[in-house]
């Protein structure tokens, strides 16, 4: 038997947060070691939740420690039984995800197989990626186009971006016009590039509808979280009015909670995040559920490279994969160097290291030591933590009007 013996929970980041990733300046890493010396790694997300998730991982430890590492479903359900708020508590689902992920890493190593083989085996040997995190400090159409040229030269055939500046809840005529100018410039400059529009769940339904109708003509691959995530009826109104495909799911914390979106035709592309969703079993199960509805999958993937490796193991197996989110090329160096090996990103496509057991990764222990932190991630009154750095600002012509009015 391979009993979980040692559990180490680590927070990683940079003391100088200005050098780190604005969308995830900290990550939580889990290292499980069994009684016979097999090591598995998992990852949990943060986003103004670093210490709550860190503390909840200690609670999950109380259930998993001393248990057989390969009895993943049993251990998962055991914690589910004890965790009263699990289906709607990000702290609980995120903490549990890291343990589930690390358990799969161990199980694959014990049986000498990649995790993707445990989920039915690969149906592809590479995964198309889209770029995210590339547009820091972009405000004007020229800003976006200039940086997008660099991304296209890297080989990406799709990009996601948030063109809405500092609009929140409502969107003014000037903010909407600037967003439209940005998307128009991107479409005119890159005819064959898939454009994905990020709303970050920031709008009420009326504003989301105005934005969606304004951007329809530029044929986005999808528009992501157009409506505040707790306003389901508003999303239905958006669907009735706007002809752009809808993607969502990074804040949906359980497979069963997706069902309402599916049966009500509220989504075209689901984006579960296996670091806050319960892990790989949930991620595969909801992909199978979506397949029955003809819905595609584009897993959310915004934190660290262990998450990426685990997500790719699912990408290799599901028939309804659309495309995979990637921050890799724009991550800070410490994140890029956290893994010595495991996967590659070349010319816009991911590839896992072939045939390696578990998640297929080799962790750089030096990074684990050098970048240990303990505390909450940075906070700024100037922009929320979910935007790409330097983008939550008024458009240039809007700023000029405000200055003129102030005089």
**Of the listed 82, 200, 374, 397, which one is catalytic?**
200
CA distances from 68 to 1, 41, 62, 388 (A): 7, 16, 13, 41
Between CA 258 and CA 359 the distance in angstroms is 26
Structure tokens at 151: 């991304």
Q: Is residue 200 flagged as an active site residue?
A: yes
Q: Is the distance from CB of 230 to CB of 67 less than 8 angstroms? A: no
Instruction: List the one residue out of 350, 343, 362, 291 whose CA is nearest residue 326.
Output: 350
**Of the listed 82, 228, 300, 374, which one is catalytic?**
300
Q: Is the distance from CB of 305 to CB of 362 less than 8 angstroms? A: no
Q: Is the distance from CB of 281 to CB of 76 less than 8 angstroms? A: yes
Known catalytic residues are: 200, 300
């Amino acid at each position: 038997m391979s009993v979980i013996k040692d559990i180490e929970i680590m927070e990683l980041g940079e003391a100088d947060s200005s050098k780190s990733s604005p969308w995830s300046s900290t990550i939580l890493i889990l290292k499980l070691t069994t009684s016979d010396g097999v090591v598995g790694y998992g990852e949990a997300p943060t986003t103004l939740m670093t210490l709550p998730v860190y503390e909840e991982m200690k609670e999950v430890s109380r259930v998993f420690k001393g248990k057989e590492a390969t009895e993943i479903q049993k251990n998962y359900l055991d914690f589910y039984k004890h965790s009263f708020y699990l289906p709607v508590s990000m702290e609980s689902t995120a903490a549990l995800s890291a343990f589930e992920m690390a358990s799969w890493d161990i199980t694959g190593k014990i049986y000498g197989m990649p995790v993707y083989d445990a989920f039915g085996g690969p149906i592809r040997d590479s995964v198309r990626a889209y770029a995210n995190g590339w547009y820091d400090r972009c405000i004007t159409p020229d800003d976006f186009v200039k940086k997008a040229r660099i991304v296209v030269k890297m080989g990406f055939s799709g990009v996601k971006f948030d063109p809405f500046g500092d609009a929140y809840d409502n969107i003014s005529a000037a903010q909407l016009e600037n967003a439209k100018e940005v998307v128009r410039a991107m479409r005119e400059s890159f005819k064959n590039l898939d454009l994905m529009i990020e709303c970050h769940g920031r709008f009420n339904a009326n504003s989301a509808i105005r934005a969606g109708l304004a951007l329809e003509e530029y044929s986005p691959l999808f528009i992501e979280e157009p409506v505040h995530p707790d306003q389901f009826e508003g999303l239905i109104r958006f669907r009735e009015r706007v002809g752009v495909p809808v993607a969502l799911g990074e804040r949906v914390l359980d497979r069963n909670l997706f069902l309402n979106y599916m049966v009500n035709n509220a989504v075209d592309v689901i984006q579960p995040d296996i670091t806050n969703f319960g892990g790989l079993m949930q991620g595969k199960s909801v992909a199978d559920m979506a397949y029955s509805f003809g819905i595609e999958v584009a897993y959310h993937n915004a934190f660290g490279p262990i998450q990426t490796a685990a997500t790719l193991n699912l990408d290799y197996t599901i028939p309804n994969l659309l495309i995979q989110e990637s921050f890799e090329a724009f991550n800070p160096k410490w994140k890029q160097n956290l893994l010595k090996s495991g996967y590659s990103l070349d010319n816009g496509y991911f590839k896992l290291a072939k045939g390696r057991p578990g998640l297929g990764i080799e962790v750089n222990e030096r990074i684990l030591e050098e970048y240990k932190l303990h505390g909450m991630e940075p906070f700024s009154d100037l922009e929320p933590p979910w935007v790409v750095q330097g983008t939550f600002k008024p458009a240039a012509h809007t700023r000029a009007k405000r200055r003129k009015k102030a005089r």
